[in-house]
């Protein structure tokens, strides 16, 4: 038994499952096996069984807890169900993925730039926002191998048209005066922003506007 288990003496809940699943960086699993593994760890370390009700108990209750936790992670861009599979995947640490499509718009940065900004108590730092039809890791590696060995890919937006989505995000940031034209020699894709702000533009501005157009049509 762990001497410092955070949830000792507490029943297994959706919130506990969500936090535990969020730490399984890069892992792939089925709902049933994930539930069995997490519940066993919880009980072995002093946690209590989940509290059932007249509608859900036993395996059905555990499945409900894990599947709900995974949906919450999906809504935050932290996990998704693997295409043509019943498995779920938790994305690598810190990475969020939204949208559907064969192309990607990505946001990455050098962790040193973020640390410097946070040391100055600033909430924005230089981020590169680009697009690719290939694996994002391959494209980012090509762009950064000359100046950092540790690019942080924080955000990937899947889309049918990377060119269109990238332009929309770039245009918003240019209107806000965030374009870093001479950053690292070439500022075409560098902006003073944070990944959270890019998510806001994507979810609350771009996606909402597109949905309104669809409804009007």
Residue 213: what pLDDT? Answer: 43
Is the model's pTM score more than 0.95?
no
Is residue 168 within 8 Å of residue 161, measured between CB atoms? no
Residue 181: what pLDDT? Answer: 86
Residue 67: what pLDDT? Answer: 96
Question: Looking up tokens 């946001």, which residue turns up?
Answer: 107
Q: How many residues does the chain have?
A: 217
Residue 150: what pLDDT? Answer: 82
For the chain, domains (ranges, CATH) are 14-90 (1.10.10), 96-216 (no CATH)
Cα–Cα distance for residue pair 57/63, rounded to 1 Å: 10
94: left (phi over 0), alpha (psi -120 to 50) or beta: left
Pairing of strands 96-99, 88-90: unpaired
Cα–Cα distance for residue pair 159/71, rounded to 1 Å: 20
Residue 4: what pLDDT? Answer: 85
Residue 206: what pLDDT? Answer: 76
Residue 183: what pLDDT? Answer: 81
Low-confidence stretches of the chain (pLDDT beneath 50): 213, 217
Residue 205: what pLDDT? Answer: 76
């Amino acid at each position: 038994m762990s001497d410092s288990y955070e949830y000792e003496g507490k029943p297994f809940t959706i919130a506990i499952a969500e936090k535990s699943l969020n730490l399984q960086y890069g892992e792939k699993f089925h709902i049933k096996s994930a539930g069995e593994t997490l519940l066993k760890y919880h009980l072995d370390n002093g946690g209590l069984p989940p509290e059932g009700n007249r509608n859900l108990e036993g395996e059905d209750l555990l499945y409900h807890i894990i599947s709900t936790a995974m949906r919450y992670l999906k809504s935050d861009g932290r996990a998704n169900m693997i295409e043509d599979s019943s498995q779920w995947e938790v994305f690598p640490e810190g990475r969020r993925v939204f949208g559907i499509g064969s192309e990607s718009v990505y946001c990455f940065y050098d962790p040193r730039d973020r640390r410097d900004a946070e040391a100055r108590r600033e909430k924005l730092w230089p981020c590169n926002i680009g697009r690719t039809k290939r694996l994002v890791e391959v494209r980012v590696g090509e762009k950064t191998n000359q100046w950092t060995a540790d690019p942080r890919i924080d955000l990937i937006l899947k889309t049918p048209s990377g060119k269109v989505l990238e332009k929309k995000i770039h245009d918003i940031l240019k209107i806000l005066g965030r374009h870093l034209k001479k950053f690292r020699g070439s500022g075409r894709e560098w902006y003073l922003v944070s990944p959270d702000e890019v998510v806001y533009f994507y979810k609350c501005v771009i996606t909402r506007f597109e949905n309104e157009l669809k409804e009007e049509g």
